[in-house]
A and B are shown apart, each in its own frame.
Chain A
Amino acid sequence: MYVLLTLFAAFFVVPIIWLVFEAIGVHLGLIAGNLGIWLFNSVLYSAAGAAIAITACIPAGYAIATHEFPGRRALLILTMLVMLIPTSALVLPLFLEANEVHQLTSPLAVIVPYGLFPFGVYLSYLYFHTERFSVLFQTARSDGCNEWQVFRHIAVPLSKPVAALIVFLNIVASWTNFFLPWVMYWSTNTTDRYPLPLGIALQLFSGETSGEYLGVVQLHTSWPPSAIAFLLLATIAPVVVVFILARRWIGSGHFQGVFR
């Protein structure tokens, strides 16, 4: 069994080790400028998207878990339905919508869609949907807190663990997203808006082919392999850092709260 597991571990990890060794020979001067722009865009889109997501998810999950209002169950079911639909199914529709409202080349064209995170609402709902919390909120109300105070001073401080999980999952999703920014910016040739995943794709689009028919095609990139390896490492480094920080959840099954 250990032989089998080690073989699988090698399959998963050898490409990443190769990447690290390949990147050692990089000449940073060649790539620093573009890398800076793509990195800035990636950080901007992911951070702004996560900020919107957390602002929308925490109160919505809280209200669905602790309030009783007409349409509550319908909203919960709709949320889960949208959460189970792959985000790429809405990319072309979003492109058509962004085109209609003339926001195609704006940063908002990807930031606002990143902010819609129904899975985060579901996680927040599960988190607040416990007897312990509802007793706590009820006590605060009978002590004279109004609804806003209950939320602001009790629910928000309590939400820290689930908020961290939502931010983590949302950032990993938006950081690695390719299809949405590709449709918004590649098709409109808005190169100064490219996030890292599009910068990577740009390396393949060197404008020339290295063979007339498939049999003789070799990999042809605009940057040398060492620079690309460095670019890939720069792309994954922040995610790996977040992974390591989040290892408590990933490694030890703290995702369990999600499971019935």
Chain B
Amino acid sequence: MKRKSPTRPRKSGYLFIAPYVVLLVAIGIYPAGYVVHLALTSLTGHFTWLGNFIDSTHNSEFVPAFENIIKFLGIWLTALVVFVVSLSLMLHSLNERVGAAFRFVLYLPAALAGSASVMLWLFMLQPGKSPWGFVLSWLGYHTLGDSLAPAHLPVIFALIAFWSGAGSWIVVMHGALATIPEEVLESARLDGAGAWRTAVNIKLPLIKKWIAYMVIGAFAAGSQLFAEPQLISEATGGIANQAWSPNQLAIFLAFHYDYFNYAAAISVDLLVVAVICAAVVLLRTGLFDVGH
């Protein structure tokens, strides 16, 4: 009897990937290439090597924008690691239904990502309107301007980002914790490990690479901060800086001064950070199935 070859089909694969590849090129690769090209050329189209990258750092807003984003990232990443990990471990030790209900409540604010969460938090930070008014008055804030003093901004952006983003990471951590085999937890129990010991000595090491993924992913996403500072700048009538974050600075240079080449250079700076983070997650954490 003639057996059909067990090899997998080849040529027809190209047909199935065609729509996706067209999108990937048009929306991913081409614009990325175009912005790199702009970053390396002058307004008149001459190749300028790293000229735009160097010149863009001379803008008086460049260094402050990167300082701001680093302060924000420091606060946000610390909060993510401490609270997401401890909340996930606590929820995992509860019974399944109670844990699921808590996770749902914590995930709910994810529906308000972007401008909706900023708008809501402006009300939360407005004394006289906020349900947290007692906290604001205890801190001595009487106007929105008090709440939004420049020194508070990294903390406030971290607070908003944590409020709308932590839930998704808790869901991810739950998924990771759920892959720990029951036998492992059972034998820990038989060895007399309590809830605390099990969490710290067994569960934590097993989700370490997911924590690494969260930190790198949140770093990459956080470095792109735009909506929060942009809207707060508008809420204060431009009194808060319009170029608070690097992405804002790039947009500001592009739209207000038509410095597209400088904007492209800053955009490439951020893209390089994002690509490095993505490559580290992909190649170093071993979390993703890269096909064999």
Contact = CB atoms under 8 A, between A and B. Distances in A.
A40 interface: no
A139 to B, nearest CB: 10
Contacts of B190: none
A90 B27 contact: yes
A232 B112 contact: yes
Contact of A56 (B12, B20, B110): B20
B224 interface: yes
A57 B21 CA distance: 10
Contacts of A247: 100, 104
Contact of A5 (B38, B90, B116, B279): B90
Contacts of A228: 119, 123
A255 B286 CA distance: 18
Contacts of B200: none
Given A67-B10, A214-B148, A250 B107 contact: yes
B11 interface: yes
Question: What's the dominant secondary structure at chain A's contact region?
Answer: helix
Interface in A24-50: none
Interface stretch (B50-58, B61-69, B70-78, B249-257): B249-257
A260 interface: yes
Contacts of B171: 250, 255
Contacts of B275: 81, 85
A167 to B, nearest CB: 16
A157 B11 CA distance: 23
Contacts of B41: none
B184 interface: no
Contacts of B83: 8
A56 B21 CA distance: 8
Interface in B209-223: 217, 220-221
Interface string B165-186: 0110001101110110000000
A77 B236 contact: no
Contacts, number: 330
Nearest to A113: B27
A92 B263 contact: yes
Question: What's the dominant secondary structure at chain B's contact region?
Answer: helix
B105 to A, nearest CB: 5
Contact of A18 (B32, B123, B146): B123
Contacts of A116: 23-24, 27-28
Contacts of A198: 115
B178 A8 contact: no
B192 interface: no
Nearest to B101: A251
B30 interface: yes
Interface string A181-217: 0110001000000001110110111001111011111
A4 B90 contact: yes
Interface in B80-132: 83, 87, 90-91, 96, 100-116, 119-124, 126, 129-132
9 contacts: A15-B120, A16-B112, A22-B123, A67-B16, A72-B13, A89-B220, A141-B4, A182-B230, A215-B143
Given A15-B121, A147-B12, 16 more contacts: A59-B20, A68-B8, A72-B13, A77-B290, A81-B278, A82-B278, A84-B282, A88-B224, A88-B247, A92-B264, A96-B264, A97-B34, A183-B251, A204-B235, A250-B103, A259-B287
Interface of A: 1, 4-5, 8-9, 11-19, 22, 52, 55-57, 59-60, 62-64, 66-69, 72-73, 75-86, 88-97, 100, 112-113, 115-116, 118, 121-122, 126, 129, 134, 138, 141-142, 147-148, 151, 172, 176-179, 182-183, 187, 196-198, 200-201, 203-205, 208-211, 213-220, 225, 228-229, 232, 235-236, 239-240, 243, 247, 250-253, 255-256, 258-260
Q: Which 10 pairs, one residue from A and one from B, show the smallest C-beta to C-beta distance?
A: A209-B237, A67-B13, A84-B278, A93-B31, A63-B16, A217-B145, A251-B100, A60-B20, A178-B114, A239-B111
